Structure formats: C-alpha cells, structure tokens
C-alpha cells in the first residue's frame, strides 16, 4: 500500500488547467480572425458588385454633369429646398446644357436663352412631352392641359382652350370690364385699411381667382368666403410641394411613395378640389341651355355632346381643365403682383414716377383701359421688370423628350426629363442691362421708349407657353395702374428690413410682408 503525503493530496485535488504560450494562443485565434476577415471581404465585394450592377451609366454623347451615385443620383449635390443656386453653379462648371440624375432618371438642364429657345421653339416637337412617374404627373393623372403628354389629344384640347378663352373675352373689351369690376372690390378692401398696414397676399390671390372663375364657370366668391380661401390655400400648398424637397424624395425613391409622408398632402388637396369642381359642374348643368354657352364649362359640355364615343373630350378632362386654368390664371398673376408691390414700396422713386405718368395719361378719364399701356412706357417697363425679377415659374413645368434627338451637339434619348431654367434666362448676363437688380431700364431704350428684350420669357416659350399669358398681361396692367392712381403704398416703419428672398416651389412667392396704405391727393381730388 502506497502512502500519500500531504503534498501529494494537494496535487491530486488541484484542478489542472493547461497553459499555452502567446504563440500557441495566436495559432488558435488565427483561423477565427481569418474567417471574420474573409466575411468582411465577401461583404465588401457583394456591396461593390451590387453598386456595379446598379451603377448609373451615362448614355453616349450625353451632356456632361456631376457624377451620380447609385440609387440617389445627384440628390446630395442639390439643395432640395431650393436648387436654383446649385443650378447656376453647375452651369458655370459644365456649360449651358448639362445633365443630372434624379435617382436613376436622367435629366437635362437648359440654361440661358440659346439653349432654351433651341429646345422649346426650334425643336419644339422633340421637347414638348411631359414626364411620367413623377409626383406632379401622378397627382394630375396626366390629365388636363398643363401635364397632359404631347400628342393629338393635347393639341386638340389646347386649340379648344385657346379658342374658347378668346371667345369669352381674352384680350377683348368684355374681359377688361370683368377685371375692372373685380378691381372695385380690391379698392373697397384697401379703403378699409387706409392709414394702417395690411398683408396683400390673400387679396391678390382672391382677386385673380375670381377673375378667371367668372370666365370658367360664371362664379364669383366674396373675399371672406371660406370656399375661396380653401381653394387658394390648397393651390398654394400644392405649388410649394410640387417642386419642394418632398417631391424630390418622391421622384427619387419610389419605395417611399406609399408611406404617410408630407407629399401625400398634394394628393389629398387635389382630390378635394377635383370633387368640388365636379360638384360645381353638376350644379352648373341644371341651368345650362345646350348651344347657348355662358362660359368655358358650357362650351366644353357642348363639345362633349358633339363628339362620338372614344373622344378625348370627357367630364374628367373638364374637371382637370377647370383646375389647370384656375391655377394658371391665379398663381402667376397674384405672385407677380405681390412682387411688384414689394419693390414699389421699397423703391418709392419708381412708384412716384409711375404715378406721374399714370396721372398724365389718365387725366379726365374715369378708369384705365388696356390700350392706355401704349402711352405708358415707364409703367409698362415697371410691370415687365416685376415679372422678370419675380421669375414666377423659375423652372417652367418640366418637359420630356418625345423621341431621340440632339441639342447643341449633344445626344438626348427619348424620355429624358428636360428642365428649362427660365430664371437663368431672365437674369442672363449679356441679355439685360441690369440682370441682377430691379431696374425698369431693362425695358427702356435710350429714348425712354418701352422695349421687350428677346430673353423675356416668364411664361416659357414654344407650344407649351402658359395659356393664361394674355389674361395675366391685362390683369397686371389694369390692377397696378388703377391702384397706383388711387393709393400710395409705403413700407411700414416697424416692418424691419425688407427680405426679397422668395419662397421656392413650382412658383416663387415673395415672403409675407405688410404695406401701409394712404389715399393719394389726386384720388381725393377725383372724389371731390
């Protein structure tokens, strides 16, 4: 029998743990690290392969532009709240015709008069399409006249619209009388605020809205009417959404389109105004006499009656035409008036010179006539300069190429999104004496006569020129002349420093401001 010592017992009871040297430990961990490193290599390779697979390839001889990144395109190279400065910067680097990518979608930006005219006028058939699969095209369902694609149905409706609007007074005495009648309501509103300040924003929107609605459906709303306020609010809201950051996100990332994000508001607003327009048309039918049209809606309904099945004239198109013409006849005019008065109250010398000319030409007359514009070169220059500086529709409405074509030496494939940068034309160096400041001399020759430069394109150019141009020109002249004849408009002392930076959207809108109103001595004399 073997006897165990105390030291032996301790040795047997001790838990034995193998100990390895540092080199042995490294040998065991090395395979594990190799596996992890290999996994990272594989992951990076897969990502690179994915990006290589979806990378954006520029078509052959496509206009130059910043390098797009997969999925996002050039989104991160633009200030999506207002990309106009970025467009200027990119044009300086890449030229008057350059490319961008909205997600994977190619777009070509046109900068300056030469590029815009070649595309929209010289090659209008190639560049007059409307893009699909964007927020604005989905909201409008490509119906109406503004967003309808270029083709026989659009041409047919465009001809009808122009002829009907002309028959109901566009450029005629009857339209002048409608505008002058609405101006009386503007004057009544302003007279209530004499000696105090007011924000003119809703006033000009309401007035322009009423003028076009009288032509469209023989309806006028009181300025305090909640329906009119809702219409104006929703149109204004949609104009800001349509070219704003949420529209850019909608256009770039189709996967987010079903999420409850702010761009959904544009669909909601449009659905509401469509339903209201449809209700108005149905109510209008109850008093309609076929063949005896009172307005645009009656003319369209008569046209539906004449057409056979399969015609592009149908009631859903009438609803969208009503909305399109309402928007076209309201937003541009009201925003230009807001811009004009912003600059008149901050340039009192310009306002005074206008008033002197107006007093001389209208002496002894009860009211202004559109024909009086020929005797008011300075006032005409101020109105046109207001339109130029307002740049109300800075990027026009996006176009799309209808077939493979060329522009200024570059190849542009069919279906390419076209962005005409009208603001670049309206402030182009070499086209204007004072391109970057408010100065009526931009429209006056050395003899002080009114002259309109070729680069004056606030309503775009070519076959898709704004339908409301004729109405807008008459409204701007009659409203501005009548109000300047009667009132003096002043920047309030407590209003701080004027901010001329507009709010960006499909249309540019001046930031809200107030103006102090006084009755002019000449107007007091007329009352006496």
Binding-site residue set for heme: 466
Helix or strand run (H / E) with residue 275: helix 264-285
Angle between helices 377-390 and 348-361 (to 10 degrees): 140
Note whether 148 and 154 are within 8 A (CB): yes
Provide DSSP, 443-461: GB-TTS-B---TT--TT--
Helix or strand run (H / E) with residue 246: helix 245-252
Tokens of 450: 């009114």
User: Residue holding tokens 């004496």?
Assistant: 433
- The C-alpha torsion from 422 through 423 and 429 to 430, rounded to 10°, is 40
Residue spans of beta strands (DSSP E) within 275-416 = 399-400, 405-407, 410-412
Provide DSSP, 138-194: HHHTT-TTTSSPSSHHHHHHHHHHHHHHHHTTTTSHHHHHHHHHHHHHHHHHHHTTT
Instruction: Give one word for 130, left, alpha or beta, with left for phi > 0 and alpha for psi -120 to 50.
Output: beta
- Beta bridge mates, 515: 198
Tell which residue, 368, 370, 387, has the closest CA to residue 466.
387
- The C-alpha torsion from 511 through 512 and 513 to 517, rounded to 10°, is 130
Note whether 199 and 226 are within 8 A (CB): no
Provide DSSP, 284-325: HHTT--TT---SHHHHHHHHHHHSPTT-S--HHHHHHHHHHH
Note whether 59 and 413 are within 8 A (CB): yes
Angle at 376 between CA 170 and CA 356, to 5 degrees: 130
User: Residue holding tokens 């809205």?
Assistant: 209
Quote the CA–CA distance of 388 and 397 in Å, as a whole number. Answer: 17
The number of C-alpha atoms within 13 Å of 415 and in the hemisphere containing its C-beta is 7
Quote the CA–CA distance of 217 and 322 in Å, as a whole number. Answer: 9
Note whether 517 and 193 are within 8 A (CB): yes
The binding site comprises: 466
SS3 call for 62 = coil
Residues contacting residue 112 through CB under 8 Å, at least 6 positions apart: 91, 96, 424, 425, 428
Note whether 99 and 410 are within 8 A (CB): no
């Amino acid at each position: 029998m073997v006897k165990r010592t105390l030291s032996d017992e301790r040795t047997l009871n001790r838990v034995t743990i193998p100990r390895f040297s540092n080199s042995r430990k490294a040998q065991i961990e090395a395979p594990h690290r190799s596996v992890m490193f290999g996994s990272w290599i594989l992951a990076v390779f897969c990502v690179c392969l994915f990006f290589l697979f979806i990378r954006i390839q520029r078509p052959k001889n496509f206009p130059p532009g910043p390098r797009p990144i997969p999925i996002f395109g050039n989104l991160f190279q633009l200030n999506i709240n207002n990309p106009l400065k970025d467009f200027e910067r990119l044009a300086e680097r890449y030229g008057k015709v350059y490319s961008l990518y909205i997600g994977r979608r190619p777009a070509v930006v046109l900068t300056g008069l030469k590029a815009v005219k070649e595309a929209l006028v010289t090659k209008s058939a190639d560049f007059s399409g409307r893009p699909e699969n964007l927020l604005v095209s989905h909201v409008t369902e490509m119906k109406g006249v503004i967003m309808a694609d270029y083709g026989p149905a659009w041409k047919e409706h465009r001809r009808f619209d122009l002829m009907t609007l002309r028959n109901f007074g566009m450029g005629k005495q009857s339209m002048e009388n409608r505008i002058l009648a609405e101006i009386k309501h503007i004057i009544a509103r302003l007279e209530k605020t004499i000696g105090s300040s007011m924000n003119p924003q809703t006033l000009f929107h309401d007035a322009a809205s009423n003028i076009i609605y009288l032509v469209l459906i023989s309806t006028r709303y009181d300025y305090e009417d909640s329906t009119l306020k809702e219409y104006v609010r929703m149109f204004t809201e949609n104009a800001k959404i349509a070219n704003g950051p949420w529209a850019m996100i909608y256009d770039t990332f189709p996967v987010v389109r079903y999420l409850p994000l702010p761009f959904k508001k544009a669909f909601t607003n449009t659905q509401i105004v469509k339903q209201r327009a449809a209700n108005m048309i149905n109510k209008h039918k109850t008093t309609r006499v076929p063949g005896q049209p009172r307005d645009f809606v009656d003319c369209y309904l008569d046209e539906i009656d004449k057409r056979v099945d399969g015609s592009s004239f149908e009631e859903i198109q009438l609803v969208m035409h009503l909305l399109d013409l309402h928007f076209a006849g309201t937003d541009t005019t009201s925003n230009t008036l807001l811009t004009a008065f912003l600059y008149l109250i901050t340039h009192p010398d310009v306002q005074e010179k206008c008033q002197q000319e107006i007093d001389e030409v209208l002496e002894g007359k009860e009211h202004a006539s559109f024909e009086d514009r020929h005797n008011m070169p300075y006032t005409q220059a101020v109105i046109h300069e207001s339109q130029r500086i307002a740049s109300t529709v800075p990027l026009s409405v996006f176009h799309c190429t209808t077939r493979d074509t060329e522009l200024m030496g570059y190849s542009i494939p069919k279906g390419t999104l076209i962005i005409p940068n009208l603001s670049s034309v309206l402030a182009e160096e070499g086209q204007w004496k004072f391109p970057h400041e408010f100065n009526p001399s931009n429209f006056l020759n050395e003899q002080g006569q009114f002259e309109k430069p070729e680069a004056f394109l606030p309503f775009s150019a070519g076959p898709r020129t704004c339908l409301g141009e004729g109405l807008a020109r008459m409204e701007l002249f009659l409203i501005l002349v009548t109000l300047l004849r009667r009132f003096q408009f002043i920047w309030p002392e407590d209003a701080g420093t004027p901010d001329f930076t507009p709010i960006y959207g499909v249309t540019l809108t001046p930031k809200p401001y107030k103006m102090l109103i006084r009755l002019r001595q000449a107007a007091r004399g007329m009352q006496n």
